[in-house]
């Protein structure tokens, strides 16, 4: 069976099976729109080495494998709970789909990523969908930044979670990364109008304060027209545009 056939079967049934034939209801996976977003960027980047953090029942991994089909790319998958929490289903489904060139790391990304850096691993595509706290995703990105080539693309899932969203606001200040794509929640016209109006009011109000107070009182998002007040992003893709040449004390407000 191919990755496409396994994916179709699982998504249609809404169920997965482990090696022993025990059945589980599918949950916690990315949907078709997110799968298409991942596949679009894999097709654009044509990675030689892809990294994935957070496999669960293997749905995102199957989308990645479907896009990598026929290529010689190595796909490294990090998930500490693949056996304990997910009953080895992700691994089993990828095996059933005949996927090769997989590197499994069944440990937290907090230990797997430094080990990969030590081995001088390099990636040109990464998908972050593991532990979603601000510090953990920052830690993931810290190592990914070190291991990514220029031109590499990193996709963040759940970019609308407050922790991920705040982190992205910081990462987008990096001079050597740029936001290249967003998968948005569909917003109604009223919601868009409301967000734009609130932003205008915030900008007008902020003009009444001296600069040194303004930055403390108003969040950057409220003042920048390119940063909507309520970011409807579900997934965000960042691209590395050059080497990390920030000085040791680099800082940018976010």
Ligand X SMILES: C[S@@+](CC[C@H](N)C(=O)[O-])C[C@H]1O[C@@H](n2cnc3c(N)ncnc32)[C@H](O)[C@@H]1O
Which positions lie near ligand X, rule CB under 6 A? 28-30, 53-57, 59-60, 78-81, 85-86, 108-110, 129-131
Q: Count of alpha carbons within 13 Å of 165, Cβ hemisphere only?
A: 15
**Toward ligand X, which CB reaches closer, 69 or 85?**
85
State how far the Cα of 22 lies from the Cα of 41, in Å rounded to an integer: 34
Closest to ligand X by CB, 60 vs 199, is 60
* Sign, CA torsion 37/142/131/177: negative
Least separation in angstroms between CB 26 and ligand X: 9
Interatomic CA distance for residues 37 and 99, integer angstroms: 21
Q: How far is the CB of 86 from ligand X (least distance, A)?
A: 6
Q: What are phi and psi of 112, to 5 degrees?
A: -65, -40
CB of 7 to ligand X, least distance (A): 11
57 or 221: CB nearest ligand X: 57
Minimum CB distance to ligand X, residue 55 (Å)? 5
Nearer to ligand X, 104 or 131 (CB): 131
CA distance 230 to 102: 38
DSSP letter at 220 equals H
């Amino acid at each position: 069976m191919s990755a496409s056939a396994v994916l179709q079967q699982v998504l249609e049934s809404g169920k997965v099976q482990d090696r022993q034939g025990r059945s589980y209801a599918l949950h916690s996976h990315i949907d078709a729109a997110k799968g298409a977003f991942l596949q679009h960027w894999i097709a654009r980047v044509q990675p030689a080495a892809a990294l994935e953090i957070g496999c669960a029942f293997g749905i995102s991994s199957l989308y990645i494998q479907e896009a990598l089909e026929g290529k010689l790319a190595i796909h490294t998958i990090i998930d500490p709970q693949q056996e304990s929490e997910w009953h080895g289903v992700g691994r089993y489904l990828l095996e059933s789909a005949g996927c090769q060139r997989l590197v499994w790391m069944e440990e937290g990304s907090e230990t797997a990523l430094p080990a990969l850096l030590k081995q001088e691993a390099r990636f040109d595509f990464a998908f972050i969908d593991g532990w979603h706290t601000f510090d953990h995703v920052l830690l993931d990105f810290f190592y990914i930044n070190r291991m990514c080539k220029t031109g590499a693309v990193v996709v963040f899932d759940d970019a609308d979670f407050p922790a991920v969203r705040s982190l992205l606001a910081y990462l987008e200040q990096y001079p050597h990364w740029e936001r290249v794509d967003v998968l948005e929640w569909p917003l109604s016209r009223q919601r868009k109008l409301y967000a734009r109006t609130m932003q205008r009011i915030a900008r007008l109000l902020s003009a009444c304060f001296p600069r040194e107070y303004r930055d403390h009182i108003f969040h950057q998002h409220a003042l920048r027209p390119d940063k909507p007040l309520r970011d409807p992003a579900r997934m965000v893709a960042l691209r590395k545009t050059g080497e990390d040449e920030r000085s040791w004390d680099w800082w940018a407000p976010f």
